[in-house]
Structure 1
Amino acid sequence: MGGCVGKVLLLFDQSRRDEEEKLDYKGGNVHIINSKEIWDQKIAEANRDGKTVVANFSASWCGPCRVIAPIYAEMSKTYPQLMFLTIDVDDLVDFSSSWDIRATPTFFFLKDGQQVDKLVGANKPELEKKVQAIANNS
């Protein structure tokens, strides 16, 4: 009889930890992608509006992803001519695998649905440089 309370507390603690571990994109204009359908909608919207997409494949447990998340959110405000998306590789495992993600974060830059650039890692200066260059050419 003594096991249920402990299990419930463990589940509650895990649920609370899961919420705490979500990456923080508050204050930005980052679209959270949690299904292939939403991905397709956002890509179609970007193509229709002539926007380049910056897609961030990340994970809530990834330290570098946590560090770069607020910077990514700030960029989404600075460059409204771009569309910023984020995909949690653990939420969309098959989809992320189709992009051959080998490390997080991995950023893809897409124009008209086609990859034009890529950055692996939370390299802030390199990400800023690539985003600025893409924005200037948009």
Structure 2
Amino acid sequence: MKQRWACNCTALALLDCYFLASLVYFSVFTFAAYAECIITQQILSDINAPTLLSRFRVRTGYLRTSIYISITGKEVSDQTKNRQQSAHKENLNSKMKSIATKAEFDLLIAREKYLVVVDFYATWCGPCKIIAPQLEKWAEEFDDVVFIKIDVDENDETAEECEVQAMPTFHFYKGGKRIDVIVGANQDKIREKILALK
């Protein structure tokens, strides 16, 4: 009886150790993945060329959301609401619409009869910052073209659905369908494409 009790205690102790080791491993892995994302983001922001965006980088939005919920206890819907409010404020001062959710993106693409130019960008992307003022000018210049912008970190679901791999990336839609893609901040090439497709 004593021997069996000792065996049971040993088994329980081993299980406890295994559980603790698993918990530590998961915590370290999660932190490492998040840290890698931040470091990669900082390094890529200094590259004066189309910034590469791996699928892992897109998916880190979900990781960040999970961490945010676990720390604050807030629902994702609250985050989405904040994004929409932020986008609405931006849209008041600009002809270029900021799209905060995939549902909003899908609705606009389906309804819009004019050419839609979608700018997939990131706040940490150098080339994105360089071309942003020119996009605002084009939005003022072309009344028959709709310009929208999508922050790949805030609206990662749309970025992943559209298979965005680099920033800036420009998608061109007409009649609800994507008709062309340009990767990089080549202003002449983008302007030529707008004139050809509108």
**TM-score normalised to structure 2 length:** 0.51
Higher percent of residues as strand: 1
How many angstroms apart in 2 are the aligned matches of 1:127 and 1:25? 22
Q: 1:128 aligns with which of 182, 187, 191?
A: 191
2:105 equivalent in structure 1: 39
For residues 157 and 101 of structure 2, the distance between their equivalents in structure 1, rounded to whole angstroms, comes to 11
The separation in 2 between residues aligned to 1:90 and 1:120, in whole angstroms, is 18
Structure 1 residue identity aligned to 2:110? A
Aligned positions of 1:53-92 closer than 5 A: 53-92=116-155
Question: Which one has the bigger helix percentage?
Answer: 2
Instruction: Report the alpha carbon displacement of residue 98 of structure 1 after superposing the two structures with TM.
Output: 1.1
Identity, in percent, stands at 33
Residue 38 of structure 1 deviates from its aligned partner by: 1.8
Cα distance, 1:80 vs. partner? 1.2
How far has the Cα of 1:26 moved from its partner?
A: 8.8
Amino acid at match of 1:104: M
| CA distance in structure 1 between the aligned counterparts of 2:173 and 2:191, rounded to whole angstroms | 16
How many residues are aligned here? 109
> Deviation of residue 45 (structure 1)?
3.4
Output aligned runs, 1:6-45, within 5 Å.
Answer: 28-45=94-111
Q: Is contact 1:55–1:85 with CA below 8 Å preserved after alignment? A: yes
Shift of 1:99: 0.9
Cα distance in 2 between the residues matched to 1:77 and 1:99: 26
Deviation for aligned residue 1:73 = 0.8
Helix, strand or coil: the match of 1:41?
Answer: helix
In 2, distance between residues paired with 1:114 and 1:84? 15
TM-score (norm. length: structure 1)? 0.72
Question: Where do 5+ consecutive residues of structure 2 fail to align?
Answer: 1-89
Instruction: Please tell me the root mean square deviation across aligned C-alpha atoms, in Å.
Output: 1.8
Q: Which among 111, 114, 127 is matched to residue 51 of structure 1?
A: 114
Preserved contact between residue 30 and residue 85 of structure 1 (Cα < 8 Å): yes
Q: Which has the larger radius of gyration?
A: 2
**Where do 4+ consecutive residues of structure 1 move more than 3 Å?**
24-28
Cα offset, 1:27, TM superposition: 6.3
1:28 and 1:77 in contact (8 A); partners too: no
Equivalent in 155, 158, 174 of residue 111 of structure 1: 174
Aligned match of 2:46: none
Within 1, Cα distance between the matches of 2:167 and 2:151?
Answer: 9
Runs of 5+ in structure 1 lacking a partner? 1-23
AA paired with 2:115?
A: T
